[in-house]
């Protein structure tokens, strides 16, 4: 654990808004949706399926918010002049980006674990131990696509635009990707649209594993493709506009 | 000790698009010197500082910092800087920032001494957002000093400070210079350059226009002022050498490029010159005459 990693982690952890939107809100949504809609289904098998689906969606929602929220902050550090100041210390520029990626990846874990615990102990979702571990593992691995997206946005946008993009992008990904309302009840055209969003495939990974099967190849390929695309764009942007470039 | 200067700049040219910000600048600064880069806003002082730190691409010329490339000197922890567009991170405490920066250097400045030197006692537990402008500048100074770097580059370091803050800042700088640090600072405050620097480098339009001690720069320009008391109907502006005439009440002040000839002309006319005073130009007069083209308006 480098001093910079500890430093960055402490800064995000201090942000109450971040914890609220990435851990508390998804956990509350899980309970809320399941208690309201899950109560209306007939059999306990149907309840299990609904409760597990809702839990997976909220794990995905929280984790996307955490991955984006942690990495988009690089834009704020540029705006404050901190990245420029760091450039005149011996800290390597690559370490700055590397640490932000690591912090983003680590901060998805609380979202995933807390929502899973709420699913298990509040909503009574029943999965085998392997499925529980597999679920958290695939959603953690898949979150790398959103770490890359957050970094891309944080490197490209200025402070104000980045703040706005954070809210807009996470709402679009959640709503149109079927994290708030299942894709199955979308009109046909919107179901097609959902397949162009990384959030749809991300939740699909989780649903497959929660159902006891291996993740669909298509979902894995889609997420790998999104990750590679976002990362490549982020590298391009960083080349054109170094970290220490003045904001604006 | 190494024989290479702390800073060696040769033929440095920096362009922003079509604008040439720094034009074939040569500058060699031996270790231990305190040097002011003086010039009006937009003269290219910040660009020189940024080029020395490797923050702007150079169009031509070389920059050597302690005998190596700027990047390598920064990575080796040999340089500390207060930048014009540098800043502190949000959601962090002053002590955490200092701790992080100190740990990145091979031989950090002992914390207690660093805090006392930068004058930030009692601020370590404070969130960055709660600092005043002057406190912020002093924390940025502590960040620049955190690695005890042999070379310090300060770009308009006192811009957010009040008079008292400024005074204590420069006292700190003199102490650092006495410890052997090489200090290069950009400023447009003539009094700062005059009071602190061993050497003043005047830059205008991206070029070096004067280089020497403050005293040398003052005497290097021929301008002198001659003042005396006279009735306000005396025709004085036709005298040889006079470049400017200023009347305040009965006091006439002539600025002249050739004081001897001007004085001789005044005395030949048999004029009485009560309260006569002949003075060398101030550093301000000298720099103005160096950086402003002759005959140009303000």
Helices (H) and strands (E) in chain B, counts: 10, 13
Contact yes or no for B261/B255 (Cβ under 8 A): no
DSSP state of B249: T
* pLDDT at residue B295 in the model: 40
B32 and B173 assigned to the same domain: yes
Task: Return d(Cα A202, Cα A223) in angstroms, integer.
Answer: 7
Query: Is a pLDDT exceeding 50 seen at residue B66?
Result: yes
At B227 the pLDDT is: 86
Q: Is residue A247 part of a domain?
A: no
Do both B226 and B214 map to the same domain?
A: no
Domain count, chain B: 2
Task: Establish if B88 touches chain A: CB-CB under 8 angstroms.
Answer: yes
Whole-angstrom distance, CA of residue A159 vs CA of residue A76: 5
Cα–Cα distance list, A152 to A232, A244, B263 (Å): 9, 16, 71
CB contact under 8 A, A90 and B90: no
| Segment B8-64, tens digit of pLDDT | 999 999 999 899 999 999 999 999 999 999 988 888 999 999 999 999 999 999 999
Residue among A14, A81, A89 minimizing CB distance to B104: A89
Which range, of A110-114, B92-96, B105-109, B260-264, averages the lowest pLDDT? B260-264
pLDDT at residue number B4: 80
Ranges of chain A with pLDDT below 50: none
Query: Is the pLDDT confidence value at B282 over 70?
Result: no
pLDDT per residue as tens digits for the range B125-163: 999 999 998 899 999 999 999 999 999 999 999 887 888
Among A4, A19, A25, A59, which Cα is nearest to A207's?
Answer: A59
Mutate which of B76, B85, B153 to disrupt the A interface (most A C-beta within 10 Å)? Answer: B85
DSSP per position, A58-107: HHHHHHHHHHHHHHTTHHHHHHTTHHHHHHTSS--HHHHHHHHHHHHHHH
Q: B106 and A90: CB-CB below 8 Å?
A: yes
**In chain A, which residues have their Cβ closer than 8 Å to the Cβ of B90?**
11, 76, 80
CB B275 within 8 A of CB B226: no
Show residues of chain B in contact with A81, CB under 8 Å: 83, 85-88
Is residue B288 included in any domain, yes or no? no
Q: Considering only CB atoms, which chain A residues are within 8 Å of B143?
A: 85, 89
Residue B65 reports pLDDT greater than 60: yes
- Is the residue at A205 inside a domain? yes
The pLDDT of residue A35? 87
Which of B193, B218, B243 corresponds to the end of one domain? B218
Residue A234 is assigned to a structural domain of this protein: yes
Residue B155 lies in a domain: yes
Residues of chain A neighbouring B156 (CB-CB closer than 8 A): none
Stretch 159-178 of chain B: residues touching chain A, C-beta under 8 Å: none
Structure tokens at A165: 């993009």
Nearest to B75 among A12, A15, A90 (CB): A90
* Sequence-distant (≥ 6) Cβ neighbours of residue B105 within 8 angstroms: A89, A90, B77, B146, B147, B148, B149
Q: Are B184 and B259 within one domain?
A: no
A11 with B91: Cβ contact below 8 A: yes
> Out of A15, A88, A90, whose CB is closest to B81?
A88
- Out of B81, B89, B101, the one facing A80 most closely (by C-beta) is B89
Query: Domain range for residue B241?
Result: 222-280
Choose among A107, A102, A124: nearest CA to A34. Answer: A124
Last residue of a domain, one of B218, B238, B267: B218
Optimal mutation site among A84, A88, A245, interface B, most CBs of chain B within 10 A: A88
A245 falls within a domain = no
What per-residue confidence (pLDDT) applies to B232? 67
What is the H or E stretch that residue B155 is in?
A: strand B151-155
Query: Pick the residue with more confidence: B110 or B243?
Result: B110
In this structure, is residue B138 part of a structural domain?
yes
**B2 assigned to some structural domain:** no
Neighbours of B290 (CB within 10 A): 18
Token code pair at residue B109: 């400045």
Contact yes or no for B74 and A85 at CB 8 A: no
Number of domains in chain A: 1
Strands B34-38 and B199-204: parallel
Q: Which residues of B touch A80 (CB under 8 A)?
A: 87-90
Q: In terms of domains, do B139 and B235 share one?
A: no
CA distance A118 to chain B (A): 30
For residue A97, give its domain range.
3-240
Q: Report whether A36 contacts A51 (CB < 8 A).
A: no
Residues facing residue B62 across a β-bridge: B10
- Domain co-membership, B118 together with B260: no
Q: Are residues B106 and B239 in the same domain?
A: no
- Residue written as token pair 């450039």: A87
With beta carbons under 8 A apart, name residues in chain A contacting B104: 3-4, 89-91
Q: Please tell me if residue B100 touches chain A, with a CB cutoff of 8 Å.
A: yes
Answer yes or no: is A147 within a domain: yes
**What would the two tokens of residue B117 be?**
């030197």
Question: Residue B220: what pLDDT?
Answer: 67
Q: Which residues of B touch A77 (CB under 8 A)?
A: 89
Kindly state whether residues B51 and B103 are assigned to the same domain: yes
The count of other CB atoms within 10 Å of the CB of residue B26 is 12
**Interface with B, mutate which of A89, A100, A243 (most B CBs under 10 A):** A89
| B129 to chain A: closest CA residue | A80
Nearest CB partner across the interface for A82, out of B53, B87, B99: B87
Is position B295 within any domain?
Answer: no
Chain B residues in contact with A17 by the CB 8 A cut-off are none
Helix spans in A38-73 (H):
44-71
Q: Judge if B140 and B208 occupy the same domain.
A: yes
Name the token pair of A140.
Answer: 């953690």
**Cα angle: A109, vertex A115, A118; to 5 degrees:** 135
Distance CA(A229)–CA(A197), nearest Å, equals: 13
Q: What is the mean pLDDT of residues B252-261?
A: 82
| Number of CB pairs, chain A paired with chain B, less than 8 A apart | 76
Q: What is the pLDDT of residue B139?
A: 96
- Kindly provide the ipTM of the predicted complex, given to two decimals: 0.90
Q: Would you call B122 an interface residue with chain A, using a CB distance cutoff of 8 Å?
A: no
Q: What is the pLDDT of residues B221-253, one digit of tens each?
A: 667 788 888 876 777 767 887 777 788 888 888
B/e letters for A5-37, b = 16+ CB within 10 Å, e = fewer, are bebbbebbeebeebbebbbebbbebbbebbeee
- Map residue B225 onto helix, strand or coil: strand
Q: Is residue B164 part of a domain?
A: yes
Nearest to B92 by CA among B119, B68, B123, B51: B123
**C-alpha dihedral sign at B223, B226, B232, B238:** negative
Residue A116, min C-alpha distance to chain B (Å):
29
What is the overall mean pLDDT for chain B? 87
Domain C-terminal end among B185, B218, B251? B218
Q: Is the pLDDT reported for residue B205 higher than 60?
A: yes
Q: Which residue has the higher pLDDT, B246 or B77?
A: B77
Are residues B267 and B126 part of one domain? Answer: no
Task: Quote the pLDDT of residue A1.
Answer: 66
Give the whole-angstrom CA distance, residue A178 versus residue A155: 28
Going by C-alpha positions, the residue among A187, A214, A218, A186 that lies closest to residue A201 is A218
Q: Do residues B71 and B130 share a domain? A: yes
Whichever domain contains B274, its CATH number is: 3.30.70
pLDDT band at B297 (very low <50, low <70, confident <90, very high): very low
B254 or B66, which is more confident? Answer: B66
Residue B294 has pLDDT above 50, yes or no: no
Residues 205 through 264 of chain B touching chain A, CB cutoff 8 Å: none
| B237-241, Cβ contacts within 8 angstroms, sequence gap of 24 or more | B239/B265, B239/B266, B240/B265, B241/B265
A206, HSE (Cβ side, Cα atoms, 13 Å): 28
Contacts of B30 by beta carbon, 8 Å cutoff, 6+ apart: B5, B6, B182
Q: Report if residue B171 sits inside a domain.
A: yes
Q: Which two tokens stand for residue A83?
A: 């990245």
Q: Do B105 and A90 count as a contact with CB atoms less than 8 A apart?
A: yes
CB-CB under 8 Å, B88 with A244: no
The per-residue pLDDT for A69 is: 95
- Do B168 and B256 belong to one domain? no
Comparing CB atoms, the residue among B53, B86, B91 nearest residue A81 is B86
CATH of the domain at B80: 3.40.50.300
Kindly report the nearest CA distance between residue B291 and chain A, in angstroms.
28
Q: Tell whether B157 and B257 lie within a shared domain.
A: no
Residue B296 lies inside a defined structural domain of this protein: no
- What pLDDT does A219 receive? 97
- Paired strand residues for B7: B29, B65
- Cβ contact, residue pair B92, A84, below 8 Å: no
Inside any domain, residue A248: no
């Amino acid at each position: 654990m480098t001093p910079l990693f500890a430093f960055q982690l402490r800064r995000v952890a201090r942000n109450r808004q971040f914890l609220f939107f990435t851990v508390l809100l998804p956990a509350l949504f899980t309970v809320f949706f399941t208690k309201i809609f899950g109560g209306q289904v007939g059999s306990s098998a149907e309840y299990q399926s609904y409760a597990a689906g809702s839990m997976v969606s909220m794990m995905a929602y929280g984790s996307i918010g955490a991955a984006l929220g942690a990495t988009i902050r690089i834009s704020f550090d540029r705006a404050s002049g901190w990245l420029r100041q760091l450039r005149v210390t011996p800290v390597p520029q690559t370490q700055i980006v590397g640490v932000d990626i690591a912090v983003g990846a680590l901060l998805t874990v609380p979202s995933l674990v807390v929502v899973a615990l709420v699913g298990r102990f509040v909503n009574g979702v029943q999965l085998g131990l392997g499925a529980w571990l597999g679920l958290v593992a695939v959603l953690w691995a898949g979150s790398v696509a959103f770490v890359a997206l957050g970094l891309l946005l944080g490197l490209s946008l200025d402070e104000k635009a980045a703040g706005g993009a954070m809210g807009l992008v996470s709402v679009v990904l959640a709503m149109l990707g079927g994290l708030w309302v299942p894709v199955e009840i979308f009109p046909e055209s919107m179901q097609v649209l959902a397949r162009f969003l990384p959030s749809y495939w991300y939740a699909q990974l989780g649903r497959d594993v929660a159902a006891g099967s291996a993740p669909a190849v298509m979902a894995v390929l889609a997420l790998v493709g999104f990750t590679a695309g976002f990362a490549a764009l982020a590298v391009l942007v960083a080349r054109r506009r170094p970290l220490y470039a003045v904001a604006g | 000790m190494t024989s290479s200067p702390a800073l060696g700049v040769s033929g440095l040219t920096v362009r922003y698009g079509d604008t040439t910000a720094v034009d074939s600048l040569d500058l060699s600064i031996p270790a231990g010197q305190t040097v002011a880069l003086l010039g009006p806003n937009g003269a290219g002082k910040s660009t020189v500082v940024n080029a020395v730190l490797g923050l702007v691409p150079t169009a031509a010329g070389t920059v050597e910092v302690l005998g190596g490339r700027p990047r390598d000197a920064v990575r080796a922890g040999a340089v500390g800087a207060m930048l014009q567009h540098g800043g502190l991170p949000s959601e962090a405490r002053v002590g955490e920032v200092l701790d992080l920066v100190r740990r990145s250097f091979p031989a950090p400045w002992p914390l207690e001494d660093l805090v006392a030197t930068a004058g930030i006692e009692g601020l370590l537990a404070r969130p960055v957002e709660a600092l005043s402008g002057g406190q912020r500048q002093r924390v940025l100074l502590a960040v620049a000093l955190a690695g005890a770097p042999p070379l310090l580059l300060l770009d308009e370091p006192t811009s957010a400070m009040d008079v008292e803050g400024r005074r204590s800042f420069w006292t700190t700088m003199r102490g650092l210079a006495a410890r052997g640090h090489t200090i290069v600072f950009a400023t447009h405050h003539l009094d700062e350059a005059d009071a602190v620097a061993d050497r003043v480098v005047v830059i205008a339009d991206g070029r070096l226009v004067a280089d020497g001690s403050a005293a040398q720069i003052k005497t290097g320009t021929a301008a002198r002022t001659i003042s005396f008391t006279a009735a306000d109907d005396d025709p004085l502006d036709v005298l040889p050498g006079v470049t400017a005439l200023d009347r305040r009440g009965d006091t006439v002040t002539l600025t002249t490029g050739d004081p001897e000839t001007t004085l001789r002309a005044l005395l030949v006319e048999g004029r009485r010159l009560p309260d006569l005073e002949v003075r060398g130009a101030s550093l301000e007069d000298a720099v103005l005459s160096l950086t402003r083209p002759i005959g140009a308006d303000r």
